[in-house]
A and B are shown apart, each in its own frame.
Chain A
Amino acid sequence: MKWKFLDRKSGKPIYLICNADESEPGTFKDRQIIHKDPHQLIEGMMISAFAIQAKQAFIYIRAEFFEGAKILERAILEAKEKGFCGDNILGSGYSCDLVVHRGAGAYICGEETGLIESLEGKRPNPRIKPPYFPAVLGLYQCPTIVNNVETLCNVKHIMEMGGENFSKIGKPNNTGTRIWCVSGQVKNPGYFEFECGALTLGEMIHDVCGGLLPGRSLQAVIPGGSSAKVLRADERFQGTLKDGTDFDWGIEDIPLDFDGPMAAGTMSGSGGIVIMDDTVDIVEAMANVNAFYAHESCGQCTPCREGSLWMKKITSRMCSGDAREEDADLLLSVANQIEGRTICAFGEAAAWPTQSFVTKFRKDFLAKAKSQKRKKDSMQLI
């Protein structure tokens, strides 16, 4: 999809960047790929680079993956020795250098234009689009393709199996495999690769991850990394899928593919599934997510910069004993003032969790305020 927009006629060099700045809370798939099979990534990247005729490719890896960076650098050396990468690849006359670049610890570098700025050596403020679409004006204002680790690894398999065979994996429109990273209160959290739509969320929790801890019940699930909208355990999802079939799902019936979570009003996002059981204080979970986004907002544009910190301040105040009943509406209103008005998608990433937590767990937010009010009143009596 991204490759279609590439400006091949500009005469400028074309760059390929692998986005290995995996920082979405609840996600750890790229890390596993890099640690366990770095050559898969290198192979995928070299095929992709050849396809877009890039002479220089980068792997932008997050700062915290120092082991991953070492592994990749070693793997690149090995690949170069065998002639799989670098000058005159496999005697084809085509050359493409591959470089590992380590970030400096900022979530915003996962945003492709922020990543490009960072790679250029600047503060990773995402660029405004238009005009700075990476496929036209990317790295050093040259056409650039930025793809995720998992995507580039898939390229290798698509080439090997042929597009048609590859698309037979999974379901129509939801082809290929996905790595799901399950974290939270299940017996066996971890990362699991499945064909798209091969199992449902319930099967993932109960069969793959061994179910919830004894005596606990499911309260909420974040299906695609912390920016994805949260799902409440007792929700029902009804509607019609793209292929025309009607559905009526409970949370455990949601198929793990691209369209399933979408139909349930959220997204499969980065594949980071966070399970929350009934012991979790939803307001504190919200405070945790908000603290992350307030800390990681780059501060370039107003709504995200001020809104994310404001939401963090509200939720941490709620958790420290000063919750007010009007806070739920205020949080929702602040999130609505961020969504869709920022330079990059970080605004949505910061706003969606709040929007979904507050709407779906409104009772918890109001109860927090009430219980704290009671506590305060009784303290005054003493």
Chain B
Amino acid sequence: MISTNKGETVSIVLDGEEVEVPAGINLVDAAALFKKEIPHYCYHPQLSVAGNCRMCLIEMGTPMRDRGTGEPVLNDDGTQKIGWVPKPVIGCATTVSPGMHVKTISEKVTDCREGIMEFLLVNHPLDCPICDQAGECRLQEFATDYGRGYSRYVERKNVKPKRTRLGPRVTLDDERCILCSRCIRFSQEVAKDDVLGFVDRGSYSTLSCFPGRELENNYSLNTVDICPVGALTSTDFRFKMRVWFLKELPSICAESSAGCNIMVSSREGEIHRITPRRNDDVNDSWMTDSGRLLYKQVRSDNRLLTPQVKQTESALDVAISSAFESFNGKKLAIVGSCHSTLEELYLLNHLSKATKAKKYLRGHFGEDDGILLSADRSPNLRGTLLSGFTNEYPKKDLSKLNDDLKKGVVDAVLVVNEDLLDSGVEGESLLGVPVTYLGTHQNTTSNLAEIVIPTLTSFEKKGTFINRSFIAQGFASTVPSPGGLLPLTQILCRLLSLSDEESKITADFSLIWKNLSSPPKSPFKGMTFTDAQRGSLQIDGSKWNNLSFVEKKALHFEPQSSVLSSK
């Protein structure tokens, strides 16, 4: 957690080559900028520096000055003499300074790395064949890259517990632990739940929870991610899958408006785990434990897999045309969802125009944990504003729809992913009203709906979510969708073309984004879906500054900071 003054650079000599690096960064990061790896275990760019693994030992020197006069000491050829520090220094705790000389490759450095690798392995069980970390283990990687390749150790290894329960989701294998203290620092500094510490000393040190406490906070699985070895394992993922079989694809977490960047690991279309993906503007390298469980919805028992018309299975085409017929000519109410993508909401808005429907929306709210689980439990509430679907901040229920149904202002409902009966709509208000349900999972609304059209989860579709800081984040599908299902964008386009034969809108994302960015005052000016997919795309949300967003101050988020930042 070293702060850098933006723009300021210093010049250092890295392995004999003069390079410019941002001022204030450490040597591990500086070397990484030039594709030079300084191996490390305990250093994590988003945690404080501990300097205990000693793997990043390198040689460092600074230009020499005369102690008395302060004059530079010169070599015979007139260049300034370099005072090499006699002992190797750790790269993670050494900040760059002007003229600093660094050797990341030298005989001494190699000797240091070989020594540290040997030390780390003397009491390591070497149980890679049964270790979950195998394949993504720093010990394995650095042992092959920097180790000697053989062991001189003939003594008995230390024996430690193999399966300590640290909390409901984390299991510790003490023998594999290299005592880097990343998990301890994470718990203290990021999760703000100081429960971990070392007991005993020397080589017998073991990681432990404080007496009577458990590692049970909603960020506990991040300790598993940052554990460089196989010591901390996810109880959910443990022994289930070898990581080299997993296909990793980037996506965005749909749990809350924090919009964590995630990596979805799947094999043959089945998701096995979700891990955070680093984005220093949004979630650093972290995500919630609860967000990691969302993949279980993909293959849950109540997943909707076949279109239904009047409780009987039907073909998708039939369901779509039946849906159109059910509301055609009626006073339609369209219930949008803050869980929909920007593109879906854009199309839904057009459908409402074509069908002259009234639009309804509800928000989903919960407790704000001040880190990465925001009070707004939907990923795209700001997308509903930016897509033009609404201009108001959604309430927490749909009582207005209930009133309108009672008054007869509307007499047909098309609902996307919301459970009407759970949102303040009374069952009797819906009597005789044709309901079309477009959603991923079964609920009371889907049970009573006349037409049910299954849609895709955020893991199976592509789209854009706009998070609490008005950052647009595009994502693509990570696993194939269940057979026969179409993304909501295509379903909406079909309904649109049925409602308005002249409509030229298609489900082509480049076209949708072209339309989104074409109005003269569009906040999406000059942006494309590819831009959104590439990384953090800051959108100007100042237009909605007067709305009272529920999110509290949290990691990388200041309330009302929707004004375009300096980026």
Contacts and interface: CB of A to CB of B under 8 A. Distances in A.
A294 B158 CA distance: 13
A296 interface: yes
A227 interface: no
B155 A317 contact: yes
Interface stretch (A27-35, A83-91, A301-309): A301-309
A299 B93 contact: no
A302 B202 CA distance: 9
B116 A314 contact: no
Interface in A290-316: 294-303, 305-310, 313-314
- Size range of the chain B interface in the assembly: 35 or more
A302 B156 contact: no
Contacts of B88: 340-341
Given A123-B197, A296-B202, A299-B198, A330 B120 contact: no
A307 B112 CA distance: 13
Contacts of A130: 93-94
A128 interface: yes
Max chain A Cβ within 10 angstroms of own Cβ: one of B54, B88, B112, B202: B202
Interface string A329-345: 01001000100111100
Interface string A11-44: 0000000000000000000000000000000000
A333 to B, nearest CB: 8
A61 to B, nearest CB: 20
B83 to A, nearest CB: 16
Interface string B116-129: 10111011000000
B39 to A, nearest CB: 12
A106 interface: yes
Contact of B156 (A125, A297, A298, A313): A313
A305 B153 contact: no
A299 B179 contact: yes
Contacts of B200: 299
A306 B51 contact: no
B109 to A, nearest CB: 11
B155 A306 contact: no
Nearest to B124: A306
B54 A337 contact: no
B87 A340 contact: yes
Nearest to B94: A130
B41 to A, nearest CB: 8
A307 B119 contact: yes
Interface string B44-61: 000001111111010000
Contacts of B52: 125, 300-302, 343
Contact of A302 (B94, B178, B197): B178
B267 to A, nearest CB: 35
Contacts of A299: 179, 198, 200-205
B115 interface: yes
B112 A305 contact: no
Nearest to B180: A302
Instruction: Sort chain A's interface into a size bin.
Output: 20 to 34
Nearest to B57: A341
Contacts of A309: 123, 158, 202-203
A343 B57 CA distance: 11
B93 A128 contact: yes
Contacts of B49: 128
B152 interface: yes
Contact of B112 (A306, A314, A333, A341): A341
B387 to A, nearest CB: 49
B90 interface: yes
B119 A337 contact: yes
A327 B425 CA distance: 81
Given A306-B123, A343-B51, A294 B87 contact: no
Interface in B201-246: 201-205
A313 B299 CA distance: 53
Interface in B143-166: 152-153, 155-156, 158
Contacts of B158: 309
A342 B52 CA distance: 8
A317 B155 CA distance: 8
Contacts of A308: 202-203
Contacts of A333: 152
Contacts of B111: 337
Contacts of A307: 119
B122 A302 contact: no
A260 B390 CA distance: 86
A314 B154 CA distance: 9
Contact of B202 (A298, A317, A340, A341): A298
Contact of B203 (A297, A314, A341): A297
Q: Sorted from nearest, which 7 A-B pairs have the closest CB atoms?
A: A337-B115, A306-B119, A299-B205, A313-B155, A128-B51, A309-B203, A297-B202
10 contacts: A295-B202, A296-B201, A296-B202, A299-B205, A301-B52, A301-B53, A303-B116, A305-B119, A305-B179, A337-B115
Interface of A: 106, 123, 125, 128, 130-131, 294-303, 305-310, 313-314, 317, 330, 333, 337, 340-343
Given A297-B201, A306-B122, A310-B155, 6 more contacts: A123-B197, A300-B179, A307-B119, A340-B87, A341-B54, A341-B57
